[in-house]
Every structure is written in C-alpha cells, then in structure tokens.
Structure 1
Amino acid sequence: MSCFAIRPPLRSLAAAALLLACAVAAAAPSAQAERETEQLIQALGQSGCQFERNGGWHDAVQAQGHLRKKLAYLRKRGLADSAELFIERAGSQSSLSGKPYRVRCGDRPAVSSASWLQAKLVQLRGARATPPSP
C-alpha cells in the first residue's frame, strides 16, 4: 500500500475535524455575549415601550417573548454569538417580511429597534465600565 492511498482519507478526516471544531466554537457564545443579549431583552421587556412588528404594535413583554424565540432559533444554529449579531439578526427586522422593527416609548417618535437596542447596549457597557464611586 502506498502513501498516496492513505493521504486523501487523512486529509478528509482532518478537514472534518476542523469543521466540527469551528461549528462547536460558533455555537457557544461567550458568557459576556449571553449576559449582554439577556440584558437587552430584559431592558426592552421592562421599558414600557411599544414594539412594532409587521405593521402591528405590541407591548414590551410581547416583544421580549418574540425576541427570545428568535434568539433561541439563532443560537441553535450558532448565529448569535454576540450582542451585535443578536441585534442584527433577530432584533432589527422581521425574518419573514423583511420589514424593520421599531420601538416607540411614550410620546417620543418611533425609532428603529436596531438603533434602540444598540443605544441600550452602549448604555449597558458604559455602566459596566464605570468604576463604583467611593
């Protein structure tokens, strides 16, 4: 048996192992990413704001439930391993219609949900980076 007969199967095996390792790594978001994403969903749920989805306005608790379902779908596929990817892939627009989501808080004009979530993420990260006062 020659060396050439062994190499292709080993290359295929190595390639498969590399793909599997990449898939496992992509499927497991960091603890920080999980925490930030959860904080964003909680912030929306507790905001008292309204959430527009496919032309209809929903309360914040309904929006929270909807985004949790979308997050679970993405996480199963390794597609939401950061808060930014969650915003982009779950929190910005309908995956069915492609229509953007919007958030309306009180008397203020509605803004894109992507903008609202990104601003909230900056706020959350800023609060975490601020040292406690003595």
Structure 2
Amino acid sequence: MRPSLLLAGALLLQTAHAAPLPPAARAEVDALLARLQSSGCEFNRNGSWHSGADAKSHLLKKLDYLEGKDLVKTAEQFIASGASGSSMSGKPYLVRCAGKAPVESAQWLTAELQQLRTGRAASNPR
C-alpha cells in the first residue's frame, strides 16, 4: 500500500474518534436535565407526554449519539441539535409545567440555562 494512503487512513481514524462535551458544557447539560427531571413538568415528544425522568433518559441517549458523532461542544448546541425536537418526526418537543400552557423545550431549556449561568434559582416558566 502506498504511504500516502496509509497516512490518509490514519488521519481518517483520528478524526473519526469523537470527543465528549467539554467538562463545563457537560456540567451545564447535566444540570439542565436534572432540573427537568425534578421540575414536576411533563415533556412531550411525538404527541405523548412523559415524566421529567423519562425525558432526561431520552435526552441523555440523544446526547450520547451527538457526542459520538462529534456534533456538540456547548449546552446551546445540545439544546438546538438534540433537545429541541424529534429527529424522527421533526416535531418540536414541548414542556408543560403546573397548569401552564406548553412551551417548546428549546425555550424552556434556554431559560433554565440562563438561570444556571446567572446563579438564580429556577423559577421560569414553572
């Protein structure tokens, strides 16, 4: 085999190895999913309502997939690429809290992320 082909193959293998989220981003995503799980809110995907614990489990699977493809590096990218809608149906995920109208999960998670970053207790839109 030609040396240039060997080098190209080695480079391809190196770039195919995906890296996990940076620690700070992973901490934010973990905190967001913990808030969703403990919020008492429900999570809608593809027309069915699920508990916060079920939502966390589902979104962790999506995060694992995205990390494996090296598609996320920030909490915002995770929200946009994995936590905002169904990759199967294209429908947005929804969050419904304590008798309030459902909001798109991207909106809910982004608001929670802002609160995490400013150090305030989560209160919106629960």
The TM-score, its normalising length taken from structure 1, stands at 0.77
SS of aligned partner of 1:103: strand
Could you list the runs of 4 or more consecutive aligned residues of structure 1 that deviate by over 6 angstroms after TM superposition? none
Q: Is the 8 A contact 2:25 2:73 kept in 1?
A: yes
* Equivalent-residue separation in structure 1 for 2:55 and 2:20 (angstroms): 24
The TM-score, its normalising length taken from structure 2, stands at 0.82
**Given residue 9 of structure 1, which amino acid in structure 2 is its aligned partner?**
S
Superposed, which structure 2 residues align to 1:120-131 within 5 Å? 120-127=112-119
2:102 pairs with 84, 91, 110, which one?
110
Q: Which runs of 5+ in 2 are unaligned?
A: 121-126
- Give the equivalent residue in structure 2 for 1:54: 46
Quote the sequence identity (%).
Answer: 49
Q: CA RMSD in A?
A: 2.3
Q: Is the 8 A contact 1:53 1:94 kept in 2?
A: yes
Q: CA deviation at 1:77?
A: 1.2
Q: CA deviation at 1:120?
A: 0.4
Number of equivalent positions: 119
Q: Which runs of 5+ in 1 are unaligned?
A: 1-7, 129-134
Q: Is the 8 A contact 1:27 1:79 kept in 2?
A: no
Structure with bigger helix share is 1
Q: CA deviation at 1:29?
A: 2.1
